[in-house]
Amino acid sequence: MQLSYEQKQAIYAKGYVKIPGVIPRVMVDAALRAINHSVGEGMSAEEMATLRAQSYCRELQAAPVITDLLNKTPAWSLAESAIGEGKIKPVRGGQIALRFPTMQDPPPPPHPHLDGMYTPTNGVPEGTIQNFTMLLGVVLSDVPTSFSGNLTVWPGTHHIYEQYFQQHGWETLLNGMPPVALPEPEQLTAQAGDIVLCHYQLAHGITANISPNIRYAIYFRLHHVEHETYAKQTMTDIWLEWPGMAEIAGRHRAAVGETI
């Protein structure tokens, strides 16, 4: 399965695209069963902040019931159609991301971030930026309304941050999120089996969950095979590791050049 031209246009303009019904229901159910079994065995209250920031059910992260959601479904070829066939490093684990209902009402607004920035609980070494190429989310439970633990995105911010880092250097991210004006956020609704492809440099966050249900998702962080060589350069040239987007990006850049 390949991304359509329209879907690639969405990635270029907004920084993300949601693709419905990619993951078969039988695989969704198998993942949910494994996760719920693990949760039923109990979790340490002292570890909850770290589990939220890194992953729940750590013993399942590299299990086939999780990794097959990417490696043995059309999700892989869809990602390859943007990053390039044979250009994605093998993926051996995913983040099991659960959002439990909160009693806080009204809920607080979501806050934007970029992955790979240090926090005391996320495991990223202080003084580093661990960026990557694409965030691929697999939705395991329906998210029909806002403030249900929705993945929230700030469309177009991948371009805004590219321009900021071109002017000020990527190292400024070590001091916190860039001080730039942001567009209105979008809370993504979805159904179990949908996937979301996001550019690494797209500002995103998670809403509070005031629904009565746990929100289940898996996040895979994909790296271009040459990411170690170009990691920081990609922050000022955001399509460097996306050869499948080269034609669309080239057209847009040419059009801008023609109007200057």
Does residue 112 have a cis peptide bond before it, meaning omega lies within 30 degrees of 0? Answer: no
Query: Which structural domain, as residue segments, surrounds residue 250?
Result: 5-259
Question: Angle, to 10 degrees, between the axis of helix 5-14 and the axis of helix 246-259?
Answer: 60
pLDDT of residue 260 exceeding 50: no
pTM here?
Answer: 0.95
Cα–Cα distance for residue pair 259/169, rounded to 1 Å: 27
Mean pLDDT computed over 102-124: 93
Number of domains in the chain: 1
Name the helix (H) or strand (E) containing 219: strand 215-222
pLDDT tens-digit series, residues 133-153:
999 999 999 999 999 999 999
pLDDT tens-digit series, residues 165-212:
999 999 999 999 999 999 999 999 999 999 999 999 999 999 999 999
Total Cβ atoms within 10 A of residue 91: 17
List, in order, residues 6 or more apart from 182 with CB less than 8 Å away.
Answer: 112, 154, 157, 160, 203
Q: Quick one: DSSP state of residue 218?
A: E
**CATH (domain of 215):** 2.60.120.620
